[in-house]
Amino acid sequence: MSPLLYVCVRPETAAADAEYASFDRAIREAPSDAAASTAQVRLDRWDLVAHALPERALDSYAGFVIGGSPFNVTDAAKSDVQVRVERGLERIARAALGGRTAAFFTCYGIGVVTRMLGGTVGLDTPEPTSASQVSATADAATDPIFGPAGASYSALTAHKEGSRAVPPGAVLLGTNDACPVQAYRVGDRLYATQFHPEPTPRDFADRMHFYRSTGYFDPTAFDAVAAAVLQSDVTEPPQLLRRFAQTFAA
């Protein structure tokens, strides 16, 4: 069984620790016999904020899962760290497109991939910290990762920017009115979601503490937003990650 690598792009260490734990649980906890093979998948970790990804990693891992970040592709001024992070994510995307590995990008990562492919990322499709309803496209129905999720499912979102349209070469897999590009596939080894597939509602509410004053929600409404998140039902998104692991690692 080949290992997967979680790639951290969050500068906040405690938030990254919690995110890694969310990915690890989402991939390895099997809700049914059909997903039981992922229980033994090893998920290693690499902090791309602190260190550039070594070339050998692209051939050492069956797949990569990329977490979210307070960075934005549309940021007017970028630190040297953010520039290095974006270059590292582009290397992973190119490796997946070239068949060296597989990759599942989330949140900030979908913007990096969209821009790399020649698409446009803008600030006109934000979503607040909440559970959003995602509608599957006709192409999603036949996709091995997204097809079993069904015609509609709830997913956790919190973002300031989004892809204005599916970039060239990508196949739209998930959409909604607020942010039309929720998920897409490029080739057969690169997936990207605007939503966060890995956290439970409890995980997401806990993550809010790290970003209370960063513009994802009104800080004076923290308790109400957290309560709404905790009441959400997001059973399908973690299974996307399990199926990714089953397909490329198990």
156 is a domain residue: yes
226 is a domain residue: no
111 is a domain residue: yes
Residue linked to tokens 């956790």: 156
Q: 0.85 cut: is pTM over it? A: yes
214 is a domain residue: no
The burial of 212, by beta-carbon neighbours within 10 Å (0-12 exposed, 13-18 middle, 19 or more buried), is given as exposed
Report the alpha-carbon distance of residue 178 to residue 209 in Å, rounded: 25
207 is a domain residue: no
Report the alpha-carbon distance of residue 222 to residue 193 in Å, rounded: 25
Q: Encode the chain (250 residues) as per-residue pLDDT tens digits.
A: 789 999 999 999 999 999 999 999 999 885 554 445 677 899 999 999 999 999 999 999 999 999 999 999 999 999 999 999 999 999 999 999 999 999 999 999 999 999 999 999 999 999 999 999 999 999 999 999 999 999 999 999 999 999 999 999 999 999 999 999 999 999 999 999 999 999 999 999 999 999 999 999 999 999 999 999 999 999 999 999 999 999 999 7
216 is a domain residue: no
By residue range, what is the domain housing residue 173? 4-199+234-248
219 is a domain residue: no
pLDDT at 161: 98
- The closest of 120, 143, 129, 233 to 189, measured between CA atoms, is 143
Number of domains in the chain: 1
Give the DSSP H/E element, type plus range, for residue 138: helix 138-141
CATH number at residue 166: 3.40.50.880
148 is a domain residue: yes
pLDDT at 33: 47
pLDDT at 35: 47
92 within 8 A of 7, measured Cβ to Cβ: yes
Copy the structure tokens of residue 186.
């490029």
Beta bridge partners of 65: 6, 104
- Distance in angstroms between the alpha carbons of the first and the last residue of the chain: 5
